[in-house]
Every structure is written in structure tokens, then in C-alpha cells.
Amino acid sequence: MYSSSDDNTRQETVHLFFKKLPASLHNLNILAELPGEFLKYDSQDTGHGQCLENSINKILALKRGCNVMLLYNINDNLRNGLQGKFVGGDPKNKECLIVNFPKVGNVSISRRTWYKYDENGRVKASRTQFPIIPSYAITDHKAQSLTLSRVVMHCSQEFVAGQTYVALS
């Protein structure tokens, strides 16, 4: 059994994985252990959604108070990779979520749209979703240029020589 200080350390430790699926599974496991109900946000897709599977998640599952990471540059203070705590839905705008970011405060986050283009530059599909993810685990690519205080590296899944070195540096 963990004590509350163990829980805090555990929740502040970011796990790095080389692939998105193990990171997503780790995030879901941590979320399942947190108190409160799951809040689920479905994306709004157009076109052939299957070609968007490597972009933003189709379903975003969160719990109030969970750690999240921004996936989109909004302005100079709100950059891709910034971590915060999910507060909940925005009472003023049902199409926005509130996230508390350190040194910034509560911010209303609206959905953003990701596009997949064909070889002629035409939009093949789009996915509109909130640009945040749970951040108890992320991929090594997402961790590039971030400074993280506590990290657990899952290096047994390295699929390119030197990947572990790059992730840790």
C-alpha cells in the first residue's frame, strides 16, 4: 500500500515509452486508480478517420485533478509540452475545458483541428479534439526539449539503437 507522499511522488513521476500504446495504457492505469469519475471527450472526425490514428486520440479520458500536457502551441506562455492539472469543464463555455498551468493559472482550452492531406494537398480527413493528454506517461519524442523532475525510462522497447540515450539526454 502506498502512503499519500508515495502517491504524490508516483503521480509526479513521468514514465517515458518509445511507443504511444504503452504510454496510453500506463495513463489509463493511473487514471483508474485516481478518485472520481472518468470524463470522456469524443473527437469530431471528418473523412476517413482511420488515417488519423497516429495523430491526436479519438477519445480523451480524464479525471478532475489529473496531470495533463498541452499538445498545441496557443501562445508564448502556453506551449506544446506544458504540464498542468485538469480542473473540469468550463462553466462559461460547454465546448471548453479548464486546465490549471503553473505560473499561468486556470486556462480555458478549446478544441483544435488536425488534418491529414492526400498527395495533392487536399484534406483527406480531419480530427477535432481538445489538445491535451494525460501526462503520467509520454513517448520519448514528446519528451524532447522538456525538463522533467522525475522520470522512469522504459527502455526494453527500444527499436532503434541509441534511442534510450537520446531520450535521457
Res. 131 pLDDT band, cuts 50 70 90 = very high
Enter the C-alpha cell of residue 91: 462553466
Whether the Cβ atoms of residue 62 and residue 134 lie closer than 8 Å to each other: yes
CA 57 – CA 71 distance, rounded (Å): 11
What's residue 5's pLDDT?
45
Q: Which residue has the higher pLDDT, 143 or 42?
A: 42
Single-letter code of the amino acid located at 54: N
* pLDDT value of residue 146: 63
Nearby residues of 140 by Cβ (< 8 Å), 6 or more positions away = 16, 17, 18, 163, 166, 167
Can you give the residue ranges of every domain in the chain?
6-139
Query: In this predicted structure, what is the pLDDT of residue 145?
Result: 61
pLDDT digits (tens, 9 = 90+) for 141-155: 666 666 667 767 766
Q: Is-contact 110 96, C-beta < 8 A?
A: yes
